[in-house]
């Protein structure tokens, strides 16, 4: 078996740079702040950090509207700061992953400024322009992800341009080879500098139907945040996942493969259908993504049966050599501890860190950060402004480092409010508390790292009999090592009966019982307790 890659055995930690640590006192996080806190990540035990975009941007979508792909936004620092971060991360054995936003630029990007200058500008075709319908209406019915039409009228040149998200985020025309060359060059710019990979924003949406046919409406759509992830008001059959997308991603992958050991991670459609995810690995002749992101854990109902069924289907659907991955939350999704509850968030952490595949940890989840309610008139997220009730600000608030002013995040008023609970929910307090979720994360990460069955081993569901709908049980096995994971989703104690044998508790979500010897045919789980048991 070939040696596993770092992105297979490692844990990827997502930093939202605006909210991690502010070093220059302007209320917004920056690269020097990340450098100052790298030791937290080393202590925690993660292996790689992924930074949401840090490039120049008017911040209409907080960095997901890029106006220069090969520079650093002055809010975050300079290219020299970036190089210092890369060096400091590598010196600590941490990999650094950047966020590539190839589907669209900012409307302030010089490319778009040129494109909109006149119909015959050489950059015109770098974006997607169409004439109005005879009655002046947009070319088709496509609905933008942030509300309204995907088309905005450009009065000066009398055509509509396409934007999947905000009008300030015009979509690039990936059918134009010059666009491809320009973005591939930007990728090489960072890979040449030593960056270890990219997470690629909405990678499966880069191509649009060549005939721009109307999307059918989604008959099941109920407005509300939960339904956005699953697609929204339209079935996006002509604006996502178009023929040709796999060949295009394979070309992008080839750019990565010209370097050693880099990772290509793609944000694909949020789906609980494993085959939607597994089509994105590509074959051995034309590999595509190393890690097409699997969002199922944050989409599925938090129920044992649903999770067990998904994991089985996902495992079965993975192509040969396709490596799985799991995510609990990110900068677009509610905090897991708010969504599920604090006790459940601990079970979720054990699940995430014991399944087969690469775990993604969103900053702050390791201390159990909660959504921070923000009144509608103070919402900053454009999605939440355009579609009240769908703001992503609550999960993007500043990291809580200690119980001092602004939770140690900044000396200035932070760009988003600090959570009310920061006096107790913070890194310093939780480091000192052996039962904290932070120490649970650290313990799980260390145990995983030291246990080949967890990093490399096979996954097999185990039968929890009558308790099949309350206790999720599975085994991970590598060579002679067998590890059983049992997660009690219920608020009362449960005893499960596995085939007879003895085990030794490695980790309990309650942070007790380590080393305790247990009989597998009478395995007692306390309320909301998860156990990792090594079979002895």
Min. distance of Cβ 332 from ligand GLC in angstroms? Answer: 5
Angle between helices 437-449 and 342-354 (to 10 degrees): 10
Q: Please, which residue, 246 or 396, has the CB nearer to ligand GLC? A: 396
Closest CA to 101 of 139, 60, 135: 60
Output the DSSP codes for 208-253: --TT-PPPPB-TT---SHHHHHTTTTB--TTTSS-TTHHHHHHHHH
Closest chain position to ligand GLC (CB):
64
Given the rule CB under 6 A, which residues bind ligand GLC?
61, 64, 101, 165, 201-202, 267, 331-332
In the bound state with ligand GLC, the residue whose beta carbon lies nearer, of 77 and 266, is 266
267 is catalytic: yes
- As measured in angstroms, the least distance from the Cβ of 152 to ligand GLC is 16
Biggest CA–CA distance in the chain, Å, is 77
Residue tagged active-site, from 81, 99, 204, 267: 267
Give the C-alpha separation, 182 to 68, whole Å: 11
For ligand GLC, give the closer residue by CB, 101 or 311: 101
Closest approach, Cβ 267 to ligand GLC, in A, equals 6
SS3 category, 301: coil
CB atoms within 10 A of CB 224: 10
Q: Report, in Å, the least distance between residue 52 CB and ligand GLC.
A: 7
Known catalytic membership, residue 201: yes
CB of 202 to ligand GLC, least distance (A): 5
Closer of 160 and 362 to ligand GLC (Cβ): 362
Pick the catalytic residue from 22, 30, 99, 201: 201
The smaller minimum CB distance to ligand GLC, of residues 52 and 488, is found at 52
CB-based burial of residue 80 (10 Å sphere; 0-12 exposed, 13-18 middle, 19+ buried)?
exposed
Tokens read off for 119: 């119909």
CA 502 vs CA 264, 517, 523, 534: distances in Å: 41, 7, 10, 9
CB of 64 to ligand GLC, least distance (A): 3
Angle at 261 between CA 259 and CA 267, to 5 degrees: 95
Backbone dihedral region for residue 45 (phi beyond 0: left; psi -120 to 50: alpha; all else: beta): left
Nearer to ligand GLC, 100 or 496 (CB): 100
List residues with catalytic annotation. Answer: 201, 267
């Amino acid at each position: 078996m070939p040696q596993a890659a770092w992105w297979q055995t490692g844990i990827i930690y997502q930093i939202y740079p605006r909210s991690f640590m502010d070093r220059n006192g302007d209320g917004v996080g920056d690269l020097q702040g990340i450098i100052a806190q790298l030791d937290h990540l080393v202590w925690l035990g993660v292996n790689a950090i992924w930074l949401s975009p840090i490039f120049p941007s008017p911040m209409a979508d907080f960095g997901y509207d890029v106006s220069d792909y090969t520079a650093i936004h002055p809010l975050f620092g300079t290219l020299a700061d970036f190089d210092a971060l890369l060096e400091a991360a590598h010196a600590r054995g941490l990999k650094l992953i950047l966020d590539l936003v190839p589907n669209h630029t900012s409307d302030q990007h010089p490319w778009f400024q040129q494109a909109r200058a006149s119909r015959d500008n050489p950059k015109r075709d770098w974006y997607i322009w169409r004439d109005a319908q005879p009655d002046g209406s947009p070319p088709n019915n496509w609905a933008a992800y942030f509300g309204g039409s995907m088309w905005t009228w450009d009065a000066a040149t009398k055509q509509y341009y396409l934007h999947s998200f905000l009008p300030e985020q015009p979509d690039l025309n990936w059918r134009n080879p010059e666009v491809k060359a320009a973005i591939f060059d930007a990728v090489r710019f960072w890979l040449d500098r030593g960056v270890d990979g990219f997470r690629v924003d909405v990678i499966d949406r880069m191509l649009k139907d060549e005939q721009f046919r109307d999307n059918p409406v989604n008959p099941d759509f109920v407005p509300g945040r939960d339904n956005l992830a699953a697609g929204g008001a339209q079935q996006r059959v002509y604006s996502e996942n178009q023929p040709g997308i796999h060949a295009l991603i394979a070309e992008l992958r080839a750019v990565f493969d010209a370097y050693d050991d880099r990772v290509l991670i793609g944000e694909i459609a949020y789906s609980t259908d494993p085959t939607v995810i597994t089509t994105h690995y590509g074959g051995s002749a034309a590999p595509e993504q190393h890690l097409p992101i699997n969002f199922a854990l944050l989409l599925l109902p938090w129920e044992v049966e649903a999770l067990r069924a998904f994991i089985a289907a996902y495992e079965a659907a993975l192509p040969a050599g396709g490596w799985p991955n799991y995510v609990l939350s990110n900068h677009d999704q509610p905090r897991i501890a708010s969504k599920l509850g604090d006790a459940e968030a601990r079970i979720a952490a054990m699940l995430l860190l014991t399944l087969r595949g690469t775990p993604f940890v969103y900053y702050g989840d390791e201390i159990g950060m909660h959504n921070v309610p923000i009144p509608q008139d103070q919402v900053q997220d454009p999605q939440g402004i355009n579609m009240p009730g769908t703001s992503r600000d609550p999960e993007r608030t500043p990291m809580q480092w200690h119980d001092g002013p602004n939770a140690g995040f900044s000396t200035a008023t932070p760009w988003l409010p600090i959570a009310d609970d920061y006096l107790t929910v913070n890194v310093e307090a939780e480091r000192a508390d052996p039962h904290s979720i932070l120490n649970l994360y650290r313990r799980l990460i260390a145990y995983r790292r030291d246990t080949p069955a967890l990093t490399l081993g096979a996954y097999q569901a185990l039968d929890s009999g009558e308790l099949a709908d309350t206790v999720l049980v599975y085994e991970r096995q590598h060579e002679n090592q067998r590890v059983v994971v049992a997660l009690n989703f219920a608020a009362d104690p449960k005893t499960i009966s596995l085939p007879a044998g003895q085990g030794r508790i490695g980790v309990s979500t309650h942070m007790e019982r380590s080393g305790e010897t247990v009989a597998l045919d009478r395995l007692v789980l306390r309320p909301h307790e998860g156990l990792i048991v090594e079979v002895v």
